[in-house]
Amino acid sequence: MGSSPLPFLHALGRVRVRYTLRVTPSDLTLTVPGLQLGALAWGAPEGRPILALHGWLDNAASFSRLAPLVGEGRWVALDLPGHGLSEHRSPAQHYHFIDWVVDVSRAADALGWERFTLVAHSMGAAVAALVAGAEPERIERLVLLEGLGPNACPAEEAPERLATSLAHGRRRSRGTRQRVHSSVAEAAERLREVNRYLSPEAAQTLVARGTRPCEGGVTWRADARLRDVSPMRMTEEHVLAFLRRITCPTLVIRAKDGHAFDPELIRARVAAIKDAHYVELPGHHHLHLDEPEPVAAALREFLEGEAPHAPAALPSVAEVRAVVLDVDGVLTDGGLGYDTAGHEVKRFNVQDGLAIKLLQRAGLKVAWLSGRGGAAVERRARELGVEHAYLLSGDKLAQLPEVLRALGVKAHEVAYMGDDLPDLGVLRSVGFPAAPANACEEVRRVARLVTTARGGEGAVRELAEHLLKAQGRWVPLLN
């Protein structure tokens, strides 16, 4: 989306003076209207004020490894209401998302902070973005880990969401019982069952603060009502309006193997922030707890106020001029059959064939790049008018420059769909990597689009519709 680049932070390994905060935090209790909030604090009280917000069903201990590594300022990590050591809301109150914004603002008031930095993860990052949009004059810097504003809901889906919330509330009103575990260790194992990428150490850290003793062992401190279905969400227009009001420098950190987000949605949201910088770091969703060192390095550079290095941008869908497709597992279901003469038999999808014709009619160039060949593939390419069919490719990445020259495009102008490990090199090199639903996990991780259809069952049709609609070419093709 050419006009709004996303600066990337590089050179994070440069030599820095490292400060050391006390690893063992102190416990705080903050009094806000109607609630007592628990918190953990690191650093001298007179240090630079940094307020940290955890994710859904986590707690303040989420920052217990990151804060000491960053080594700057007075860190206060909140337990949001209903989490950790904070009080639960009264039975007459609710956990509406917008109320978290009020809680955070009041917590800063209780700390006596007129202006402060926000560092937030996941749901906390969604809350922090709204705080920074509602009270931009109070936020010095904003760091968003694995989150950028709340989940949105189209207006037309709001009635059904409210109906679902009401039905869920009726079921819960009949009574819920918190699960009991025999020990903290057992509770940590249960947490890892639902969050399989969380390390044993990280799970222990969260569970130690997130459970309390009870008859038979330990149970969760978190209010069961936190699992209620939200009755109402903002529309995307609401979210963007808040993001546009953010005036402070903002660092958005995504985990390379973190939660899946719509890349076009993320791009639009980052572009809405006046001074946003974007970086991807190794790790999963809880990267600040499991692999905090790269996160700490990025934060130190950002908090020191240095300009980001080597600006770069994720290419826009609008820039795509060519579509290159793997064959087996993308244009076919990946199965192999043989006729009585021993010739390979492959099954192609007619919807995918129409999609290729639509791409060509819209002016996009189409090529195939496959590790296999055969008469059936060659015949199908001729039927569809695909002039550039590179078959029996032993090294797809090595052949990519030849494909680009033949098509007359650059790598960032290419959408490529592949399904397996031999496709990874190309997927990482082009502007718009895509994968069918049946692709291996490693491929799905790098894809900007994972279709709902499997290979050979309309995945290419889905990719073509996505590209053509994003470029405004779909409707004209139907006339």
Q: Cα separation of 477 and 479, whole Å?
A: 6
Evaluate whether 1-313 and 317-478 have a shared fold.
Answer: yes
> Tell me, which fold does domain 1-313 have in CATH?
Rossmann fold (3.40.50)
- Can you give the pTM of this predicted structure? 0.63
Per-residue pLDDT of the chain (479 residues; tens, 9 = 90+): 333 333 333 333 333 333 345 568 999 999 999 999 999 999 999 999 999 999 999 999 999 999 999 987 999 999 999 999 999 999 989 999 999 999 999 999 999 999 999 999 999 999 999 999 999 999 999 999 999 999 999 999 999 999 999 998 888 766 667 789 999 999 999 999 988 889 999 999 999 999 999 999 999 999 999 999 899 999 999 999 999 999 999 999 999 888 888 877 888 888 889 888 888 898 999 999 998 999 998 999 899 875 434 334 456 788 899 999 999 999 999 887 787 777 778 899 999 999 999 999 999 999 999 998 888 899 999 999 999 999 999 899 989 999 999 999 998 899 999 999 999 999 988 989 999 999 998 898 888 888 999 999 999 999 999 999 888 898 888 87
Q: Where are the domains of the chain?
A: 1-313, 317-478
Angle in degrees, CA 266, 261, 334, rounded to 5 = 130
Q: Cα separation of 352 and 333, whole Å?
A: 12
CATH architecture of residue range(s) 317-478:
3-Layer(aba) Sandwich (3.40)
Task: Specify the DSSP element, H or E, that contains 219.
Answer: strand 217-220
Q: Cα separation of 79 and 219, whole Å?
A: 17
| Helix spans in 117-275 (H) | 123-134, 158-173, 184-194, 200-210, 236-244, 263-272
Q: Among all chains, which residue has been given the structure tokens 């600040």?
A: 288
